[in-house]
């Protein structure tokens, strides 16, 4: 996956990559040339006292060094830009893919891991690309070129290369093999800590309410400790790695000076050649080390690439039809025909044989015990999930044959757990209709009984909303999200238990105002409170995923034992109160 991913995402940057490789090549050749020039200055200039030669060769050395620096800077600069661009493209792909996921696809992975995959995992692949662009050309050329140049200086010392390089490879290789599984498990630990953190931050109020701080702190502490333990193990190996490498470099230097010194002493080698040989050996060892470091990043990046690939390879379970149908009319007529639905992995269906029609200008209510399937039912219209059998029709066309934009232009849903985005009230209200005028926003707020609390603060529509809407009350959040739906003026309104946080009087006022504004629209209300739906044109009583009774409030009071039970339970509560 790693190779496929890098190949696919580096394609648009081929010219930059070629430029980086050319700069790397030039820089490496210059680096390899410098020690031999240095040797010449010592052997042919200094020892013979030829100042002219020293000046000329010195100037050339300076020019080569300057060239080396400039090409190295250019290589690193373009390399970094290319790696960052590849990382950006990869992140964008993950984001787009996740955005196209249905609720079902998101549930399959879980939000924390999707966030880690789109950020940390992409970062690991990006780092490997960066290292690759920096060392892909220089490492092999430096190794082979360094060996050739060193042997040119002195053949009889070559055994030092054959001994020191394998020792370095063996030591670093051993450590890399020990590091690989640790890097693999580190990625999972990061996922785990993200999951715990996310859950605790989102559920902070519940944690406080149930005085679960010590338990949650322990849960976080354990996850944190796990991650720390792996990081410490990795750190320990690194602590070993650097002195080991340093030791090999110093021993090699000492060996070159010892054996080379003897050859200089016996007149078989010149001092300049010895200096050059030493520099080449160090260059070879450095290149081997960098190559091994790069190799060390491969397993971790490979795990990350697999995880990214898993996300990118998912065929979203819900996609737009290839040739969408445009309905002849735009009225908002909703029809469920013998709909059955089952959550993936669940044994039994959550909804069975659901059939009903909701007409424009009418209010259809759905009531039923908790877990009866009400939220699931209303999720099928905006295609958060697709039915297992039967069909859901909007203006006479199955929703599976409609373009997503056709559905969103007709249907506005107020979910059971309303979500507000960070920004201002105005920004939230314009979410579904950016071009809405201020008058339209105030009108929607008025209908949703939210005008009062928005006007109360001098900031009005500019009042800041925190992520998720956590800085307004539950009832205010519900009313703002009702107003957000009203601004779009859809043909179908879906209210999923959207009045539950309102007091009975506000609930009644809101429904009265709503009635006037939604005269031509289809209104589907899911509610727990009988008073909220008593005046609906039709009420469906849902029990265990089936419609057990239907009719108006008065009819159901006569005929439906389940409805009577719900009414009685609520009356007694009110009476007790
Ligand atoms: N994402 C999911 N995956 C699997 N099962 C689910 C999922 N969401 C809901 N369910 C199950 O489907 C059934 C119906 O859930 P649903 O949320 O539709 O009920 P509801 O009538 O809206 O309940 P409430 O009034 O409590 O909101 C429940 O048994 C629930 O456990």
Any idea what the CATH number is for the domain that residue 551 is in?
Answer: 3.40.50.300
Q: What pLDDT does residue 64 have?
A: 95
> Is 326 contained in some domain?
no
CA nearest 333: which of 258, 395, 411?
Answer: 395
With a pLDDT cut of 70, the percent of the chain lying above it is 99
Q: Pick the last residue of a domain from 249, 281, 312.
A: 312
The three-state secondary structure class of 418 is coil
Domain count, the chain: 2
**304 and 394 belong to one structural domain:** no
Spell out the residues 6+ positions from residue 163 whose beta carbon is closer than 8 angstroms to its own: none
Interval between CA 373 and ligand 1 midpoint (Å): 6
Q: Are residues 251 and 388 in the same domain?
A: no
Mean pLDDT of the residues in the chain: 88
- At 571, is the pLDDT very low, low, confident or very high (cuts 50, 70, 90)? low
117 and 179 together in one domain: yes
DSSP bridge partners of 291 = none
Closest ligand 1 atom to the C-alpha of 526? 22
Q: Using CA atoms, how far apart are residues 437 and 213, in angstroms rounded to an integer?
A: 46
Among 282, 312, 342, residue at a domain's last position: 312
In the DSSP assignment, the letter for residue 399 is G
Q: Residue 53 pLDDT > 80, yes or no?
A: yes
DSSP assignment letter at 156: T
The token pair at 204 is: 């902070």
Q: Are 527 and 497 within 8 A, CB to CB?
A: yes
Range of the domain at 452: 334-576
Residues 357/547, Cβ–Cβ less than 8 Å: no
- pLDDT digits 0-9 by tens, 184-210: 788 788 878 888 888 888 788 788 878
CA gap 49, 51 in Å, rounded: 6
Nearest-10 crossing angle of helices 51-99, 122-135: 160
Query: Please, are residues 105 and 180 in contact by the beta-carbon 8 Å criterion?
Result: no
In 100-157, which ranges are continuous DSSP H helix?
103-109, 111-116, 122-135, 138-153
350 Cβ below 6 A of ligand 1: yes
376 lines ligand 1 (CB under 6 A): yes
288 and 425, same structural domain? no
CB of 289 shorter than 6 A to ligand 1: no
Ligand 1 atom nearest to CA at 345? 4
* Separation of alpha carbons 500 and 570, rounded Å: 14
Phi, psi torsion values for 308, nearest 5 degrees: -70, -45
Q: What is the pLDDT of residues 459-478, one digit of tens each?
A: 788 888 887 777 888 888 88
Instruction: Kindly report the protein residue whose alpha carbon is nearest to atom 17 of ligand 1.
Output: 375
Q: Which helix (H) or strand (E) holds 368?
A: strand 363-368
284 shares a domain with 345: no
Instruction: Determine whether the shortest distance from the Cβ of 371 to ligand 1 is under 6 A.
Output: yes
CA-373 nearest atom, ligand 1:
18
Alpha carbon distance 400, 382 (integer Å):
10
* Choice between 213 and 492, residue whose per-residue pLDDT is larger: 492
Position 104 confidence tier, pLDDT thresholds 50, 70, 90: confident
274 and 352 housed in the same domain: no
Any domain includes 260: yes
Separation of 78 CA from ligand 1 center, angstroms?
52
* Same domain, yes or no: 6 and 114: yes
**The ligand 1 atom nearest the CA atom of 104:** 1
Q: Please compute the mean of the pLDDT values over residues 245-263 and round it to a whole number.
A: 90
Rounded average pLDDT over 37-57: 87
| CATH code, 277 | 1.20.1560.10
Residue of 109, 376, 528 to test ligand 1 pocket, by largest number of atoms within 8 Å of CB: 376
Band of residue 575 on the pLDDT scale cut at 50, 70, 90:
very low
Q: How far apart are CA 328 and CA 395, in angstroms?
A: 8
Residue 444 has pLDDT above 50, yes or no: yes
Q: Please tell me whether residues 168 and 296 are part of one structural domain.
A: yes
Q: What is the pLDDT of residues 108-128, one digit of tens each?
A: 888 878 888 999 899 999 999
Q: Is the CB of 343 under 6 A from ligand 1?
A: yes
Residue 469 within any structural domain of the chain? yes
Atom 3 of ligand 1: nearest residue by CA position = 343
Cα–ligand 1 centroid distance for 500 (angstroms): 17
Quote the ligand 1 centre to 374 CA distance (angstroms).
8
Confidence of residue 105 (pLDDT cuts 50, 70, 90): confident
Nearest atom in ligand 1 to 368's CA? 21
Looking from the CA of residue 372, the nearest atom of ligand 1 is: 21
- The pLDDT of 533-537, averaged and rounded, is 88
Residue nearest to atom 16 of ligand 1 (CA): 373
Residue 353: Cβ within 10 Å count? 15
Taking 80 as the threshold, does the pLDDT of residue 413 lie above it? yes
In this structure, the residue with its CA closest to atom 26 of ligand 1 is 370
Q: Which of 106, 352, 372, 527 to mutate for ligand 1's pocket (most ligand atoms within 8 Å of CB)?
A: 372
* CB of 421 closer than 6 angstroms to any ligand 1 atom: no
312, 344, 366 — which closes off a domain? 312
What was the pLDDT predicted at 541?
92
Q: Residue 514: CB within 6 Å of ligand 1?
A: no
| Residue 180 pLDDT exceeds 80 | no
Does residue 280 form part of some domain? yes
| Same-domain pairing of 265 and 386 | no
Give the model's confidence band at 228: pLDDT under 50 very low, under 70 low, under 90 confident, else very high: very high
Task: List the alpha helices (DSSP H) in 380-500.
Answer: 404-410, 425-429, 438-447, 451-456, 474-487
- Average pLDDT (382-394) is 92
Contacts of 550 (CB under 8 A, 6+ apart): 356, 538, 539, 540, 541, 556
Q: Classify residue 318: in a domain, yes or no.
A: no
Name the pLDDT band for 226 (thresholds 50, 70, 90). very high
DSSP string, 529-570: -HHHHTT-SEEEEEETTEEEEEE-HHHHHHH-HHHHHHHHHH
How many Cβ atoms from other residues are within 10 Å of residue 437's Cβ?
A: 11
Q: How far apart are CA 109 and CA 101, in angstroms?
A: 11
Q: Residue 558: CB partners within 8 Å, gap ≥ 6?
A: none
Residues 137, 264 contacting (CB under 8 angstroms): no
Nearest to 78 by CA among 129, 141, 30: 129
Ligand 1 binding pocket includes 545 (Cβ within 6 Å)? no
Contact 183, 172 (CB under 8 A): no
Which of 451-468 are b and which e, b meaning 16 or more Cβ less than 10 Å from the residue's Cβ? Answer: bebbeeeeeebebebeee
**Residue 370 C-alpha to ligand 1 middle, in angstroms?**
8
Does an H or E element contain 353, and which? strand 351-358
Task: Determine whether the shortest distance from the Cβ of 346 to ligand 1 is under 6 A.
Answer: yes
Q: Buried (b) or exposed (e) across 492-513, using 16+ Cβ within 10 A?
A: bbbbbbbbbbbeeebbbebbee
CA 411, 417, 419, 425 torsion-angle sign: positive
- 528 C-alpha vs ligand 1 centroid, how far in Å? 14
Residues 308 and 338 in one domain: no
> ∠ CA 47-49-50 to the nearest 5 degrees?
110
Whether 245 maps to a domain, the answer reads yes
The yes-or-no verdict on residue 523 having pLDDT over 60 is yes
Which comes out higher in pLDDT, residue 327 or 64? Answer: 64
Rounded CA-CA distance 112/199 in Å is 9
Q: How far apart are CA 21 and CA 23, in angstroms?
A: 5
Residue 386 · residue 317 · CB < 8 Å: yes
What's the confidence (pLDDT) of residue 577? 41
Is 134 part of a structural domain of the chain? yes
Q: Is the CB of 340 under 6 A from ligand 1?
A: no
Give 53-80 as a DSSP string: HHHHHHHHHHHHHHHHHHHHHHHHHHHH
∠ CA(130), CA(134), CA(135), 5° rounding?
120
pLDDT(533) > 80:
yes
Say yes or no: 300 and 365 in one domain. no
> 235 to each of 188, 232, 241, 497, how far by Cα in Å?
18, 5, 10, 53
What does residue 417 show for φ and ψ, rounded to 5 degrees?
A: -110, 90
323 lies in a domain?
A: no
Closest atom of ligand 1 relative to the 379 alpha carbon:
18
Is residue 296 located within the same domain as residue 429? no
Q: Is the CB of 374 under 6 A from ligand 1?
A: yes
Q: Is the CB of 107 under 6 A from ligand 1?
A: yes
């Amino acid at each position: 996956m790693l190779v496929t991913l890098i190949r696919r995402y580096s394609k648009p940057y081929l010219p930059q990559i070629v430029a980086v490789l050319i700069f790397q090549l030039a820089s490496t050749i210059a680096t390899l040339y410098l020690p031999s020039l240095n040797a010449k200055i010592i052997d042919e200039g200094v020892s013979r006292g030829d100042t002219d030669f020293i000046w000329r060769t010195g100037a050339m050395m300076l020019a080569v060094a300057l060239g080396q620096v400039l090409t190295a800077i250019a290589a690193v600069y373009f390399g970094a830009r290319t790696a960052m661009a590849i990382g950006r493209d990869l992140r964008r792909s993950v984001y787009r893919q996740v955005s196209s996921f249905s609720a079902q696809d998101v549930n399959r992975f879980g939000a924390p891991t999707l966030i880690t995959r789109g950020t940390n995992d992409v970062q690991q692949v990006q780092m490997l690309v960066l290292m690759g662009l920096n060392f892909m050309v220089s490492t092999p050329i430096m190794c082979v070129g360094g060996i050739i140049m060193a042997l040119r200086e002195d053949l009889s010392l070559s055994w030092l290369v054959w001994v020191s390089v394998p020792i370095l490879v063996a030591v670093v290789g051993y450590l890399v093999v020990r590091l690989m599984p640790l890097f693999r498990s580190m990625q999972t630990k990061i996922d785990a800590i993200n999951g715990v953190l996310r859950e605790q931050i989102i559920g902070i109020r519940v944690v406080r309410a149930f005085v679960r701080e010590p338990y949650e702190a322990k849960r976080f502490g354990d996850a944190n400790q796990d991650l720390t333990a792996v990081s410490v193990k990795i750190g320990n190996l690194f602590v070993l790695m650097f002195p080991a490498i340093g030791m090999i470099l110093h021993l090699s230097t000492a060996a070159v000076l010892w054996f080379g010194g003897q050859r200089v002493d016996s007149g078989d080698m010149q001092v300049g050649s010895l200096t050059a040989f030493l520099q080449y050996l160090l260059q070879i060892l450095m290149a081997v080390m960098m190559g091994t470091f790069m190799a060390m990043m491969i397993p971790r990046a490979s795990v990350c690439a697999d995880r990214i690939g898993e996300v990118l390879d998912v065929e979203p379970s819900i996609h737009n039809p290839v040739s969408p149908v445009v309905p002849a009319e735009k009225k908002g007529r909703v029809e469920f025909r013998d709909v059955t639905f089952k959550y993936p992995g669940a044994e039994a269906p959550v909804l069975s044989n659901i059939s009903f029609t909701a007409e424009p200008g009418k209010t259809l209510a759905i009531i039923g015990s908790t877990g009866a399937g009400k939220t699931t039912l209303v999720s099928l219209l905006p295609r958060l999930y697709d039915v297992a059998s039967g069909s859901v029709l909007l203006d006479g066309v199955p929703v599976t044959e409609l373009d997503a934009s056709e559905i969103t232009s007709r249907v506005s849903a107020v979910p059971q757990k309303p979500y507000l985005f960070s920004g201002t009230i105005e920004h939230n209200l314009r979410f579904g209709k950016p071009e809405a005028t201020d008058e339209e926003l105030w009108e929607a707020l008025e209908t949703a009984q939210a005008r009062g609390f928005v006007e109360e603060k001098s900031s009005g529509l500019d009042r800041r909303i925190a992520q998720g809407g956590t800085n307004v009350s539950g009832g205010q959040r519900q009313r703002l999200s009702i107003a957000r739906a009203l601004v779009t003026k859809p043909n179908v309104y879906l209210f999923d238990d959207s009045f539950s946080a309102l007091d009975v009087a506000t609930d009644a006022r809101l429904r009265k105002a709503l009635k006037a504004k939604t005269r031509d629209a289809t209104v589907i209300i899911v509610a727990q409170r009988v008073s909220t739906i008593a005046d609906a044109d039709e009420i469906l009583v849902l029990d265990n995923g089936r419609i057990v009774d239907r009719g108006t409030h008065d009819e159901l009071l006569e005929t439906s034992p389940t409805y009577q039970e719900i009414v009685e339970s609520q009356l007694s509560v009110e009476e007790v109160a």
